[in-house]
Amino acid sequence: MENLSYSKAIEEIEEILKYIESQEVDVDVLVEKVKRATELIRFCKSKLKTAEEELHKTLIELEGSNLTEEEPF
Amino acid sequence: MNSLINAFQRCSLEFKDFDAIILIRGGGSVADLAIFNDYELAKTMALMPIPVFTGIGHTRDETVADCVASMSFKTPSEVAKFILDRALDFDSKIDNLKQRILHKVEAFLNTEISKNQSLQERFKLAVRNSGEKLSQKMNLIVSEIHNGILKKVHSEKEFLFSLKQNLHKKTNYILKTKEVEITNLSNRVKMKMRENITKGNFTIKSYKEKLFTKLKNTLALKNIEIERLREKLHLLSPENILKRGYSITYLNGKVLKNSQEASIGAKVQIQLYKGKIYGQVINKEEDYGEPKLF
Instruction: Return d(Cα A38, Cα B54) in angstroms, integer.
Output: 213
3-state secondary structure A14-67: HHHHHHHHCCCCCHHHHHHHHHHHHHHHHHHHHHHHHHHHHHHHHHHHHHHHHH
pLDDT (0 to 100) of residue A67: 53
H or E segment to which residue B264 belongs: none
**Which stretches of B14-70 are DSSP H helices?**
39-46, 64-68
Q: Which residue of A has its CA nearest to B220?
A: A48
| CB B41, CB B35: distance < 8 Å | yes
pLDDT at residue A68 above 70? no
Q: B223–A30: do the CB atoms touch at under 8 Å?
A: no
Nearest to B215 among A30, A55, A72 (CB): A55
Cross-chain residue pair A48–B233, CB shorter than 8 Å: no
- Provide mean pLDDT across the span A47-73: 74
The closest alpha carbon to B24, from B89, B64, B79, belongs to B79
State which amino acid sits at residue B100.
R
Q: What pLDDT, on a 0 to 100 scale, did the predictor assign at position B55? A: 87
From B230, which residue of chain A is nearest by alpha-carbon distance?
A41
Q: Give the residue extent of every domain in chain A.
A: 6-68
Amino acid at A21: E
Give the model's confidence band at A23: pLDDT under 50 very low, under 70 low, under 90 confident, else very high.
low
Return the pLDDT at B208: 83
Which residue of A lies nearest to B228 if distances are taken between CA atoms?
A41
Q: Strands across the sheet with B276-280, in order? A: B254-255, B248-251, B267-271, B276-280
Q: In chain B, what residues touch A13 (CB-CB under 8 Å)? A: 229, 233
Q: How far is CA A38 from the centre of its chain?
A: 12
CA distances from B60 to B38, B46, B64, B75 (A): 18, 22, 13, 12
Q: Does B264 touch chain A (CB under 8 A)?
A: no
- The total number of residues written for chain B in this structure: 294
Chain B residues within an 8 Å CB radius of A34: 233, 236-238
pLDDT at A66: 56
**What are the phi and psi torsion angles at B272 (to 5°)?**
-105, 175
* Distance from the A65 Cα atom to the nearest Cα atom in chain B, whole angstroms: 12
Subunit contact A51:B219, Cβ cutoff 8 A? yes
Q: Could you give the 3-state DSSP secondary structure of residue A10?
A: helix
Give CA–CA dist B269/B280, Å, rounded: 9
pLDDT classification of A33: cutoffs 50, 70, 90? confident
Query: Strand order of the sheet with strand B71-73?
Result: B21-24, B52-55, B71-73
Residues across chain A? 73
* Contact predicate B72/B66, CB 8 Å: yes
Output the pLDDT for position B188.
Answer: 93
**Which of chain A's residues have a Cβ under 8 Å away from the Cβ of B226?**
10, 41, 44-45, 48
CB contact under 8 A, A55 and B229: no
User: Is residue A71 scored above 60 in pLDDT?
Assistant: no
Tens digits of pLDDT across chain B (294 residues): 788 889 888 888 888 888 889 988 876 777 777 888 889 888 998 888 999 998 887 666 688 888 888 888 888 888 899 989 988 999 999 999 999 999 999 888 888 888 888 888 888 888 888 888 888 998 999 999 999 999 999 999 999 999 999 999 999 999 999 999 999 999 999 999 999 999 998 898 888 888 888 988 988 898 898 888 888 888 888 788 888 888 888 888 888 888 888 889 999 999 898 999 999 999 888 877 666 565
CB contacts, 8 Å: A51 with chain B: 219
Q: Assign B65 to helix, strand or coil.
A: helix
Check CB contact under 8 Å for A34 and B238.
yes
CB pair distance less than 8 Å for A73 and B194: yes
What is the Cα–Cα distance from B118 to B115, expressed in whole angstroms? Answer: 5
Specify whether the CB–CB gap between B65 and B30 falls below 8 A.
no
At B244, is the secondary structure helix, strand, or coil? coil
Give B213→chain A minimum CA distance, Å: 11
CA distance B75 to B66: 12
Average pLDDT, chain A: 80
- Name the residue facing B212 among A41, A55, A70 (closest C-beta): A55
Q: Within chain A, how many helices (H) and strands (E) appear?
A: 2, 0
* ipTM exceeding 0.90, yes/no: no
User: Among partner residues B205, B212, B226, which is closest to A48 by beta-carbon distance?
Assistant: B226
Which residues of A touch chain B, with CB atoms under 8 Å apart? 6, 10, 13-14, 16-17, 20-21, 23, 26-27, 30-31, 34, 37-38, 41, 44-45, 48, 51-52, 55, 59, 62, 66, 69-70, 72-73
- Residue B232 Ramachandran class (φ > 0 left, ψ -120 to 50 alpha, else beta): alpha
The partner residues of B153 in beta bridges, in order of sequence, read none
CA-wise closest residue to B259 among B245, A30, B251, A21: B251
Question: What's the confidence (pLDDT) of residue A26?
Answer: 73
CA distance B163 to chain A (A): 43
pTM for the structure as a whole: 0.43
